[in-house]
Chains A and B, each alone.
Chain A
Amino acid sequence: MAIKRGVPAILKRKHRRLILLLACGLGLGSATALVLSAFRQNLVFFVLPSDLAAQHPSPERTLRLGGLVETGSVHRSTKGKEVDVRFRITDGHTAVPVTFNGVLPDLFREGQGVVALGTLGADGTFHASEVLAKHDETYMPKDVAEALKRKGLWNPAKGPPPPASTWNTLTVPVTTPAAAAPAASAGGRQTGY
């Protein structure tokens, strides 16, 4: 009798463990499926203006466009009560015109790093739904910084980067103490005491 009663109990333990495993598998499986399908639709790629010129992504694709706000390119038009901002984002090679209907973030400045979330229109204008300015004042896209450093146009130890509007025409500066001094004082937050 004891054996007869024991056998179903063991089966039951296995049976229950199986159900538990199935439930875990179901949870994990549905999570994986959801992640994979969401990745297919909702991955947002980070691009630089020169990438946009090279790739021509489809207008449905949401992108994050990063670079610097070209100096002198910001135009705000307030026709009636509408708000419309136009500016150009540059990476030193290519500049892309951007339109945005909204309040620019507090840290938005000409010549400083910015990331715009939106889509590229058929006319080559980027329609931003969101504009983020980097909290770091010295931010610039990594590729831009690398390019500038490689060309010898900017040395991070000597102060802030040159304004974005001048990148295409910059010449390698002759480093003299007189030229380095104002740059060092302008980057006061970084220099130690």
Chain B
Amino acid sequence: MNPELGHFALALAVCLAAAQGIFGLMGAQARREPLMAATPALAVGQLIALGTAFFTLIWCNVVSDFSVLNVVQNSQAAKPLLYKITGTWGNHEGSILLWCFILALCGAAVAAFGQDLPSSLRARVIGVLGATSAGFLLFALTESNPFLRVWPPPPDGQGMNPLLEDPGLALHPPILYAGYVGFAIPFAFGVAALIEGRIDALWGRWVRPWALGAWCFLTGGIALGSWWAYYELGWGGFWFWDPVENASLLPWLTGTALVHSAIVVEKREALKVWTVLLAIATFSLSLSGTFLVRSGILNSVHAFANDPARGIFILALLGLVIGSALVLFALRAPALAPGGLFSPISREGALVFNNIMLCAIAAVVFTGTTYPMFVNLLTGEQISVGKPFFDATVLPLTIPLFAAMSVGPMLPWKRAALGPVLQRLWWAALAALCVGFLVGFGVRDGLVGLAFGGAVWLALGAFADIVERVRLFRLPLRESLARAAGLPRAAWGATVAHLGMGITVAGIAGMALATHVIVALHPGEGVDFAGYHWQLERLYDAPGPNYTARVAEIAVEKDGRRVALLTPSRRSYPVQRNTVTDTAIRTNLFRDLYAAVGEEQNGKVVLRLHRNPLVPWIWLGALVMAAGGALSLSDRRLRVGAPLKAAAMAKA
């Protein structure tokens, strides 16, 4: 496979995407059926072209074609095959190509699954996706082209950042990007609806599955990233409130709000304007998250100056995409028909509350992430906000959100009363209070007690809804089971997702009880910590494919019985002149024993030992949340045939 083939395919994709944008938007505006009918084919063509480009780049990495600059800078001949493949998207140019590839995949998905959409709406959605894609492909082609050649080719490459030589990298970026980019579809639907000037329940029904799918991927991607940071960076934490992490959290927060407000549009035709705004905001945050972070603008202002062309191109592109969507919103939103009425205490009211709280949290995180950058730009002063800031602002806002999370799903639509619902939740509240007080007094930390109580409240509240619906213990068990089987999958999905949130909260609360110790030990020495005896058995060198490792062997014993043998190591990569810690973790799902090895001094080695209770639950909960979303996605009502039937009925 020739790099020039990839280069050509990339250029072809730019042309196809531009045509897709122009045909889709202009064709729908001029009501020219042939132009509109061409858009799905163009979307598929763009996907094929970009697929060719992407696989050519993977091929260049696999065969170590050192005449390609991108491969020289990020690969080396001795790298294991898996990392040669995953290294394709482990650098700026490759990751942007992957991003564009997923965007093309979204366009093709709308082309393939959107056959029941009205032809003008479909053409516009595909057109918006095409126009966006064209802009970023142009960026990839002109400013971050991965197919540039070098002459003469060097004998070996410079190697990849060893931190990225990890199986986590194989999965994390593609899944995270699928989440980021997936929100382009609700965005395109929102923009298309603004152009059409019409939003109805059917629109909500079309948008929700796409938003939900993107949300599942984003949830999984963030969880994978957090897990990777936990085991690879060796600091023992799972979330550092780093700008890169916040950039992924922001679209997750607004995306979660979107998934909920789309329900109101679908069921009650209310909150339409707001939902469109959320769709635009979520994709805008995804865009700025990926690109501001990747280009280094957010982290430091001078990274901008290192490559002014890249930075300015990206800023202009972001301004164009986000700005034109917002201007369109400002012009067209007042013309949209207002939605149905509902009382503040109702299912809609609870979903509005969910949206307000999620957006408030997003606003707080956004302020904390961007404020240092603005202060630096305006005054030149360098400040930062860290964990204390986010703990002080985000935690208080989650309390009312979590409190409402169990009540909301049990409220009827339109008009409701709190009393009866709270009556049905008394056992969950009682259990949460008991657990909260017991844990709070047990560990003498009220906050941890509150968090555990909240976790129990969320988990039981999620089940309470199902218990009510199947009338468990009030009807014979068999009848209850029959009712449970008959419940729509969307209801089960919501329950599972809320339960996942409870599991994650429990994990985070458990992590607040984590303890660690830093010790210097001679081989043969041991230390007692957290109820275990940690014995440093020996230190030895072990060679790897492109590194050498210094391994510490630690036997962990409890009451004289061996629990685990941990082998953390430090890997030295000679080509990159870099050292990376490789942690050792032994989990039994209720606690992690975690060890990292530091430097050696006078025959002693510095060890960092952690006992982290419940920490796997953080990621387990996120996976359960994503599974809940997927379960809801598999609901019959959301499948392709249903809107068609509904449309036919509406016509009749």
Chain A residues proximal to chain B, CB less than 8 Å? 12-13, 16, 19-20, 23-24, 27-28, 30-31, 34-35, 37-39, 41-46, 62, 64, 66, 76, 78, 81-83, 101-104, 106-107, 117, 135, 137, 142, 189, 192-193
**Contacting residue for B520 out of A83, A117, A135, CB 8 A:** A83
Offer 29 A-B interface pairs, CB within 8 angstroms, sorted by A.
A16-B343, A19-B344, A23-B353, A27-B356, A27-B359, A28-B363, A35-B364, A35-B393, A38-B385, A38-B392, A38-B393, A39-B389, A42-B385, A45-B381, A46-B383, A46-B384, A64-B384, A76-B601, A78-B606, A81-B519, A82-B520, A83-B518, A83-B520, A103-B596, A104-B599, A107-B578, A107-B579, A117-B386, A142-B302
- B643 within 8 Å of A (CB atoms): no
**Contacting residue for A46 out of B343, B352, B382, B521, CB 8 A:** B382
Q: Which residue of A lies closest to B343 (CB)?
A: A16
User: Is the beta-carbon distance between B384 and A103 smaller than 8 angstroms?
Assistant: no
Q: Which residue of A lies closest to B356 (CB)?
A: A27
B359 to chain A, nearest CB (A): 7
User: Is the beta-carbon distance between B397 and A34 smaller than 8 angstroms?
Assistant: yes
Point out the residues of chain B lying under 8 angstroms from A106, CB to CB. Answer: 570, 578-581
Q: Which residue of A lies closest to B607 (CB)?
A: A103
Proximity bits, B395-428, A CB within 8 Å = 1, else 0: 0110000000000000000000000000000000
B197 to chain A, nearest CB (A): 23
Q: Which residue of B lies closest to A146 (CB)?
A: B302
- B602 within 8 Å of A (CB atoms): yes
User: Is the beta-carbon distance between A34 and B599 smaller than 8 angstroms?
Assistant: no
Q: How far is the CA of A106 from the CA of B359 in the complex (A)?
A: 38
User: Is the beta-carbon distance between B386 and A42 smaller than 8 angstroms?
Assistant: yes
Point out the residues of chain A lying under 8 angstroms from B383, CB to CB. Answer: 43-46
User: Is the beta-carbon distance between A37 and B344 smaller than 8 angstroms?
Assistant: no
User: Is the beta-carbon distance between B392 and A23 smaller than 8 angstroms?
Assistant: no
B340 to chain A, nearest CB (A): 11
User: Is the beta-carbon distance between A44 and B352 smaller than 8 angstroms?
Assistant: no
- B328 within 8 Å of A (CB atoms): no
- Known A-B contacts A46-B384, A103-B596; the reply to A78 vs B579 at CB < 8 A is no
Point out the residues of chain B lying under 8 angstroms from A41, CB to CB. Answer: 388, 392
Docked complex: B491-541 residues within 8 A CB-CB of A: 518-521, 525, 527
Q: Which residue of A lies closest to B390 (CB)?
A: A38
Q: How far is the CA of A37 from the CA of B396 in the complex (A)?
A: 12
Q: How far is the CA of A31 from the CA of B344 in the complex (A)?
A: 21
Point out the residues of chain B lying under 8 angstroms from A193, CB to CB. Answer: 69, 72, 150, 152, 154
- B48 within 8 Å of A (CB atoms): no
- B174 within 8 Å of A (CB atoms): no
B460 to chain A, nearest CB (A): 26
Point out the residues of chain B lying under 8 angstroms from A189, CB to CB. Answer: 158
- B598 within 8 Å of A (CB atoms): yes
Q: Which residue of B lies closest to A26 (CB)?
A: B356
Most chain B C-beta atoms within 10 Å of own C-beta, residue among A23, A28, A66 = A23
User: Is the beta-carbon distance between A27 and B357 smaller than 8 angstroms?
Assistant: yes
Q: Which residue of A lies closest to B527 (CB)?
A: A81
Point out the residues of chain B lying under 8 angstroms from A20, CB to CB. Answer: 344, 352
- Known A-B contacts A23-B352, A193-B72; the reply to A103 vs B389 at CB < 8 A is no
A57 to chain B, nearest CB (A): 13
Most chain B C-beta atoms within 10 Å of own C-beta, residue among A41, A103, A104, A137 = A103
A50 to chain B, nearest CB (A): 14
- Known A-B contacts A23-B353, A101-B518, A106-B578; the reply to A16 vs B341 at CB < 8 A is yes
- B367 within 8 Å of A (CB atoms): yes
User: Is the beta-carbon distance between A37 and B518 smaller than 8 angstroms?
Assistant: no
Q: Which residue of B lies closest to A48 (CB)?
A: B382
Q: How far is the CA of A27 from the CA of B400 in the complex (A)?
A: 10
User: Is the beta-carbon distance between B389 and A42 smaller than 8 angstroms?
Assistant: yes
A8 to chain B, nearest CB (A): 12
Q: Which residue of A lies closest to B371 (CB)?
A: A39
Q: How far is the CA of A23 from the CA of B397 in the complex (A)?
A: 14
User: Is the beta-carbon distance between B341 and A78 smaller than 8 angstroms?
Assistant: no
Q: Which residue of B lies closest to A22 (CB)?
A: B344
User: Is the beta-carbon distance between B386 and A44 smaller than 8 angstroms?
Assistant: yes
User: Is the beta-carbon distance between A30 and B397 smaller than 8 angstroms?
Assistant: yes
Chain B residues proximal to chain A, CB less than 8 Å? 69, 72, 150, 152, 154, 158, 161, 302, 341-344, 352-353, 356-357, 359-361, 363-364, 367-368, 371, 381-386, 388-389, 392-393, 396-397, 518-521, 525, 527, 570, 577-581, 596, 598-599, 601-602, 604, 606, 608
Point out the residues of chain B lying under 8 angstroms from A43, CB to CB. Answer: 383-385, 389
Point out the residues of chain B lying under 8 angstroms from A76, CB to CB. Answer: 599, 601
Q: How far is the CA of A19 from the CA of B341 in the complex (A)?
A: 13
A67 to chain B, nearest CB (A): 12
User: Is the beta-carbon distance between A81 and B521 smaller than 8 angstroms?
Assistant: yes
Point out the residues of chain B lying under 8 angstroms from A78, CB to CB. Answer: 520, 601-602, 604, 606
User: Is the beta-carbon distance between B352 and A104 smaller than 8 angstroms?
Assistant: no
A119 to chain B, nearest CB (A): 13
Q: How far is the CA of A13 from the CA of B382 in the complex (A)?
A: 49
Most chain B C-beta atoms within 10 Å of own C-beta, residue among A37, A76, A104, A106 = A106
Q: How far is the CA of A16 from the CA of B270 in the complex (A)?
A: 13
**Contacting residue for A44 out of B353, B357, B384, B519, CB 8 A:** B384
A193 to chain B, nearest CB (A): 5
Point out the residues of chain B lying under 8 angstroms from A82, CB to CB. Answer: 519-520
B573 to chain A, nearest CB (A): 10
User: Is the beta-carbon distance between A103 and B598 smaller than 8 angstroms?
Assistant: yes
Most chain A C-beta atoms within 10 Å of own C-beta, residue among B154, B368, B384, B385 = B384
Instruction: List 19 extra interface pairs beyond A30-B397, A46-B382, A135-B161, CB under 8 A.
Output: A13-B341, A31-B361, A31-B364, A39-B385, A42-B389, A43-B383, A43-B384, A44-B383, A45-B383, A81-B520, A83-B518, A102-B518, A103-B518, A103-B596, A103-B606, A106-B578, A117-B386, A193-B69, A193-B150
User: Is the beta-carbon distance between B397 and A35 smaller than 8 angstroms?
Assistant: no
Q: How far is the CA of A76 from the CA of B602 in the complex (A)?
A: 10
Q: Which 5 A-B pairs have the closest CB atoms?
A: A46-B382, A103-B598, A78-B520, A27-B356, A31-B360
- Known A-B contacts A34-B364, A104-B599, A142-B302; the reply to A42 vs B397 at CB < 8 A is no
User: Is the beta-carbon distance between B382 and A24 smaller than 8 angstroms?
Assistant: no
Q: How far is the CA of A28 from the CA of B356 in the complex (A)?
A: 8
**Contacting residue for A23 out of B158, B344, B384, B525, CB 8 A:** B344
Point out the residues of chain B lying under 8 angstroms from A42, CB to CB. Answer: 385-386, 388-389, 392
Q: Which residue of B lies closest to A189 (CB)?
A: B158
Q: How far is the CA of A178 from the CA of B364 in the complex (A)?
A: 55
Q: How far is the CA of A192 from the CA of B70 in the complex (A)?
A: 12
**Contacting residue for A83 out of B152, B519, B578, CB 8 A:** B519
B243 to chain A, nearest CB (A): 14
Q: How far is the CA of A47 from the CA of B215 in the complex (A)?
A: 40
Q: How far is the CA of A135 from the CA of B162 in the complex (A)?
A: 11
User: Is the beta-carbon distance between A27 and B343 smaller than 8 angstroms?
Assistant: no
Q: Which residue of A lies closest to B525 (CB)?
A: A81
B541 to chain A, nearest CB (A): 17
A28 to chain B, nearest CB (A): 6
Q: How far is the CA of A41 from the CA of B393 in the complex (A)?
A: 12
User: Is the beta-carbon distance between A34 and B393 smaller than 8 angstroms?
Assistant: yes
A145 to chain B, nearest CB (A): 9
Most chain B C-beta atoms within 10 Å of own C-beta, residue among A16, A28, A31, A64 = A31
B354 to chain A, nearest CB (A): 11
A36 to chain B, nearest CB (A): 10
Q: How far is the CA of A37 from the CA of B359 in the complex (A)?
A: 19
Q: Which residue of B lies closest to A134 (CB)?
A: B300
Point out the residues of chain B lying under 8 angstroms from A35, CB to CB. Answer: 364, 367-368, 393
Q: Which residue of B lies closest to A38 (CB)?
A: B392
**Contacting residue for B382 out of A37, A45, A107, CB 8 A:** A45
Q: How far is the CA of A23 from the CA of B384 in the complex (A)?
A: 31
